[in-house]
A and B are shown apart, each in its own frame.
Chain A
Amino acid sequence: MTDTAARATSVVAPVRARRRLHGGGPRAGTVAAFLTPFFLPFLLFYLVPVGYALWQSLRVVRRTGGQYGTSYTAFGGLEQYGQVLRNTEFWSSIGRIGLFGVVQVPVMLFVALVIALLLDTPLLKLKAFFRITAFMPYAVPGVIAAIMWSYLYSPQLSPVVDLLNGVGLEPDFLGPGAVLWSTANVSTWLWTGYNMLIMFSALQSIPQELYEAARIDGAGNWTIAWRIKVPIIAPSIVLTSVFSIIGTLQLYAEPAVLRQISSNISSTFTPNMLAYTVASGNNYQQAAAISVVIAVITFVLSFGFMRLTAKRAGL
């Protein structure tokens, strides 16, 4: 008995001594061994490219000796950024995506909120079915979702177009005015259920006693939903808004697929498509500057939105 105890302390003692030296944690080498497998690729494939894009965006291509001279890159300061800001295609892509976001994001989040609230009331049956149905599109990648919808938009194949033609509506989902909203519909289809599930998870964590107290005070389902539930899950709504703003500014795959069947989507339809088109023309410095500007706009909008809503909520 004492023998075992003595052996135990002899094993434990050096461990304790070492840990006391290092403030109660494992040795630095061990910590590094846990962190490095993530941090090394994070450094190489996240931080370095960000730095490289910033550096590239400050370079310009210059030529020596006129038309037949050789080209070389040199430091150009903010020259590339000046070009981005003077580029009308850049501003029209931003305007297009701004219009898209101002309409699509609120519509999508409102629908998501309504579904989440209805799934959280005793009014509805078949809840599991509706929840899974709404979430299911999240399993579909943007490219495939856009391919599916493009068949529903296509005048030759679409049963929806047939149906609407039958009642005399004759829609043109791929026309110059409509194609932006046809793209918005693909995004809405894809992401409503995901946003709904974030809100629904937040609703599920509200203690039920809160509702009972409100019910005793005579509050109905509507009052409980809008006066109690929505304010409590406000942080989730802000979170989904920020995710949606970021997603909207990154839009690429869906319009790229619809471009295959509609001449009304140009190669510079969204800011990201513009960046890719510019890069395909080997103007990497300009493409880098565009990417940096998009990233800055994304940061400003998401932080601005968070600050604004925090102030509104009196936090």
Chain B
Amino acid sequence: MSNPSVIRESRVSRTAVMALMLLLAVYFLLPVYFLVVAATKPQGDLASTNGLVFSHFNLFENLRVLFTRSDGIFGRWALNTVVYAVLGAAVGTLISALCGYALAKFRFRGREVLFSVILGGVLVPTTALALPLFLLFSATGLVNTYLAVFLPSVVSPFGVYLARVFANASVPQELIESARLDGAGEFRTFFSVAFRLMAPALVTIFLFQFVAIWNNFFLPMVMLQKESLFPITLGLYEWNGQTARAPLLQQSVITGSLVSIVPVIVVFVLLQRFWRTGLAAGSLK
């Protein structure tokens, strides 16, 4: 390593690597930076000023317009998104954990068959389910209700798969046995012993399911006509489609996009270690 040519080469490659990574970082940050700048501008400045340079600071007025437009429908969409994505992922994580734990820790007939069926479900694309679900739900009167989006969203076969992997890895069989010997019922054992041991894994499952629901645009689009039931994504999509006729909506689409992604990005960054454990387990064979 004391060879000067080696040191020079490593300095060159260090610089090259740094330059490449900085370029990629600019690529990943550019749209978000643009959104931040655009959200602070008055509508009139969007087209007339450089998109990458701040002009008149108008963010608070933009926020006021965003949250008061159409009787505060944006706030309603935000609340709906929390119901669909946060509550849906929470319920989904709980039922995935129960099922995955049972598949990992209980011996019963048909266990492997059941697991294979659930694994097959991982491969079923959610967009393929939306249209037949629409027909089934319209026959039962569920179309255009909260439940039409909420109920299918709680089901995550991938969550069950992760829960089984994590239960196997983090809950020792002896602990379950000794809880049983102490006379604890299976549910008590699950909630007082297994749940705590699986907690970090459950955060991971929650995050994956949250993203899946937050990203699933097709299902709410097929199911919902009533604006008051929309999640943010569908609401912004509708607004974006109206900007040709109502150009003033553009600023609200931009500010609304920023308002909805910032909290999610912050939570993701804070919880990033859970992603890595989950992705490592997800790629285990």
Contacts and interface: CB of A to CB of B under 8 A. Distances in A.
A100 interface: no
Interface in A238-283: 239, 246, 249-250, 252-253, 256-257, 260, 272, 275-276, 279
Contacts of B117: 47
A45 B257 contact: no
A288 B272 contact: no
Interface stretch (A82-90, A91-99, A133-141, A173-181): A133-141
Contact of B124 (A46, A141, A162): A46
A198 B118 contact: no
Given A26-B186, A144-B260, A157-B46, A151 B132 contact: no
A44 B137 CA distance: 11
A77 interface: no
B48 to A, nearest CB: 10
Contacts of A189: 27-28, 31
A50 B126 CA distance: 10
B121 A157 contact: no
Interface in B19-55: 20-21, 24-25, 27-32, 34-35, 38, 46-47, 50-52
A305 to B, nearest CB: 13
Interface string B160-204: 100000000000000000001101011100100000000000000
B236 interface: yes
B261 A15 contact: no
Nearest to A124: B17
Nearest to B9: A220
Given A41-B154, A49-B129, A124-B21, A272 B218 contact: yes
A223 interface: no
A25 B107 contact: yes
Nearest to B266: A139
Contacts of A126: 21
Nearest to B222: A276
Contacts, number: 265
A144 to B, nearest CB: 5
Given A34-B102, A151-B38, A56 B132 contact: yes
Contact of B217 (A158, A197, A253): A253
Contacts of B243: 260
Contacts of A151: 34-35, 38, 51, 254
A148 interface: yes
A11 interface: yes
Contacts of A152: 30-31, 34, 51
Contacts of A48: 136
Interface residues on A, range: 35 or more
A291 B131 CA distance: 9
Interface stretch (B61-69, B70-78, B92-100): B92-100
B217 A143 contact: yes
A239 to B, nearest CB: 5
Nearest to B111: A31
A165 interface: no
Interface in B106-156: 106-108, 114, 117-118, 121, 123-129, 131-136, 151-152, 154-155
Interface string A104-133: 000000010011001001011110011111
Interface of B: 10, 13-14, 17-18, 20-21, 24-25, 27-32, 34-35, 38, 46-47, 50-52, 94-96, 98-99, 101-103, 106-108, 114, 117-118, 121, 123-129, 131-136, 151-152, 154-155, 157, 160, 180-181, 183, 185-187, 190, 211, 214-215, 217-218, 222, 233-234, 236-237, 240-241, 243, 253-254, 257, 260-261, 264-265, 267-269, 272, 275-277, 279-280, 282-283, 285
In the A-B complex, the 6 residue pairs with the smallest Cβ-Cβ separation, listed nearest first, are: A159-B51, A38-B99, A34-B102, A201-B280, A49-B132, A148-B31
Given A47-B121, A115-B24, 16 more contacts: A35-B98, A35-B102, A37-B99, A50-B132, A132-B272, A138-B211, A143-B217, A145-B31, A152-B30, A152-B51, A156-B47, A157-B47, A189-B27, A236-B283, A252-B217, A279-B134
17 contacts: A35-B114, A37-B94, A37-B98, A37-B99, A42-B155, A49-B132, A133-B25, A135-B275, A140-B261, A142-B215, A145-B31, A148-B31, A198-B279, A239-B282, A295-B125, A298-B125, A302-B123
